[in-house]
Amino acid sequence: MKNIVLAESAGFCFGVKRSVEMAEKLLSSEGTCASLGQLIHNDDVVHALEEKGLRVIDSAAEAKPGEQVIIRAHGVAPSVYEALEEAGVRITDATCPKVKAIHTIVQRAGDEGRFVIIIGMREHPEVVAIQGWCRDCAVFENPHEVQEWLEKNENFWEKPITVVVQTTQTRNNFNECCEIIKKRCTNAKISDTICLATFTRQEEAASLAAGCDAMIVIGGKHSANSLHLAQICKELCSNVQFIERTDELDLDRLQDADTVGLTAGASTPAWIIKEVRNKMSDEIKIEESAVEKELSFDEMLEETLKTIYNGDKVTGTVVAITGTEISVDLGAKYSGFIPTTEFTDDGVKVEDVVKVGDEIEAIVVRVNDVEGTAMLSKKRLDAVKVWTDIEEACDNETIMEGVVTEENKGGVVVNVKGVRVFVPASQTDLPRDAELSQLLKKTVRLRITEVNKARKRVVGSIRRVAQAERRERIENIWNEIEIGKKYQGVVKSLTSYGAFVDIGGIDGMVHVSELSWGRIHQPSEVVSVGDEIEVYVINFDKEKRKISLGYKDPEANPWNQFTSRYQVGDIANVTVVKLMPFGAFAEVLPGVDGLIHISQIANRRIAKPEDILTVGDVVEAKITAIDEEKHKISLSIRALAEPAPAAAVVADPAEEPEEGSGEDALVYEVSADGQATGVAPEEAEEE
């Protein structure tokens, strides 16, 4: 034997320490008292207390009227409380808070009509007490019993069932039982009520046993948690001694072991552990300091018995969750609890917020030295932290986020991490006449401008954040703007000549000619105030801060569509859109018009276009010319018409106009492309 490794969590658990401390306090003040059953599963401790005046009774009938009777950490059934009251005794309840939590769970299960399954040792006093708080229940010690019972009771497969476990059970046994229950029972609610200290002690024991050549487990032969420790160690180590006191230690079995692990059950006092350790140390002649570099067990015990006070900030581990409270192991003589309402105010489920094994910080609200409990509040600690954050945000001008919860006189109230922040109407960033109610339930960003913790007054400004963000967006736009770049914008206002569009803090103008490829008279024919549209930059002037925007899609340019579809000589169905003295304009495609000259409307001379055409007429026309540069098109109906037959006319000298009558005729000349011109006869002769 060269090395001894001590388990950090060996020895008294919180419940045992608390019950022994309560007994010693009573003996000190009363001189005598009784415990209902053996106070803890350790004969040496019980004998020591008996010498101080403690007597052990097995039932309420053995109690003396007026006597102080201690209910041990294992707890008792409600019927036992009634019997003790009828006996006229004074009760000191040392039931472990973790066990009380189980009583609450099973009692509520009974009220809800749920059947209770208890995983634990059937004859153990803790399990017997739990059964007393149930209406209908069954106790199972191992997975085999659970499996057998469920196979014989199929009617329970769909019934509402609540599962709890003895605080000192092994994790493996509990998990195996639960797996069987989950597979069969469709309405099972499982509460992991194994004491965290027990679980930690078992984990440490398993770790030691796996790495040591021999293990020493100290504990009472009737102690459930000690028996489980020994069982766990034997599964991982072939050389295990389960002893109650020093004189049972067999040093011969340790001669060939290089490393020996040492642990102890929850009912083993520090002085017995120390005696065993010292005997082993003396035998292998190892100095005390080399054996143990950590705190002595006496010092460790003293550390766990330290007192806490109202207002203290504490850190603990969640060991149990019930419908009304969350039990927290503080590593001290007090068991902490936090009301579940602190986690369910917003309608969330407590199990979604906190879980068994989570480390949690809280403020001590109230200490009960008699019961050894401490009421904690996580909300109060969070509130302290939030106020600190609020003050720092005010000093550093940090942006915070919150939800607008109400409209107040002159402004709105924003909930920022649980703190009410008042935002005056002038700081909401809404127009002067706007309804403040439109902000309700919206998430906003704001800056804290004033903090008065004494008066619990906080003032903030949404406007400051919005202004800063707008300035930043504007600068980003001017730094990155370029011709052709697209933006998502919002139409802010309309005029007769165009629309102003906000593209992120800057207004650009879309001229009416850039709103549509087709003909429009007013911008309102295309867009409305509030519309979200995509625009692109046509031009900009950084110095004058002006931007010209386009809304028409360049790819939808009607002229491009026309040139890709038609060429000179093609025939198209066109719609007459306007009549002029010199001809008619006709739409070839939406946004593309061509001119039908008056000479090309018919194969004869006409006085005016409306003699033949009417606005809205759809006619066939030939494309006779395309001016790519000026985007102009010449059309001809005449080119498609049958030529007029030449009339054989014999001239009558009598009908010939006299010289100087003034009835001059026009001479028409038609070019090869169908365009016609007319000149007077004199002009023709001169030519």
> Which residue numbers are catalytic?
126
Pairing of strands 457-461, 214-218: unpaired
Q: At what angle do helices 97-111 and 125-132 cross, to 10 degrees?
A: 30
Cα torsion for 92, 108, 98, 156, to the nearest 10°? 130
Residues linked to residue 458 through DSSP beta bridges, in sequence order: 451
Cβ pair 390, 416 in contact under 8 A: yes
Q: And the tokens for 434?
A: 């706007």
**Alpha-carbon distance 680 to 686, whole Å?**
10
Q: Which helix (H) or strand (E) holds 352?
A: helix 350-353
3-state class percentages of the chain: helix first, strand second, coil last, to nearest 5 = 35, 30, 35
**Alpha-carbon distance 172 to 194, whole Å?**
11
* Stated length of the chain: 687
Nearest to 594 by CA among 611, 612, 607, 570: 570
**Alpha-carbon distance 33 to 17, whole Å?**
18
**Alpha-carbon distance 614 to 606, whole Å?**
14
**Alpha-carbon distance 38 to 32, whole Å?**
15
Q: Which residue has the tokens 């790819």?
A: 555
Interior/surface letters 344-355, b for 16+ CB within 10 angstroms, e for the rest: eeeeeebeebbe
**Alpha-carbon distance 514 to 512, whole Å?**
5
Strand, coil or helix: 665: coil
Residues linked to residue 635 through DSSP beta bridges, in sequence order: 596, 623
Task: Fill in the amino acid letter for 473.
Answer: R
CA-derived radius of gyration, the chain: 49
**Alpha-carbon distance 661 to 523, whole Å?**
58
Residues linked to residue 402 through DSSP beta bridges, in sequence order: 444
Cβ pair 265, 226 in contact under 8 A: yes
Q: Which helix (H) or strand (E) holds 405?
A: strand 399-408
**Alpha-carbon distance 362 to 382, whole Å?**
8
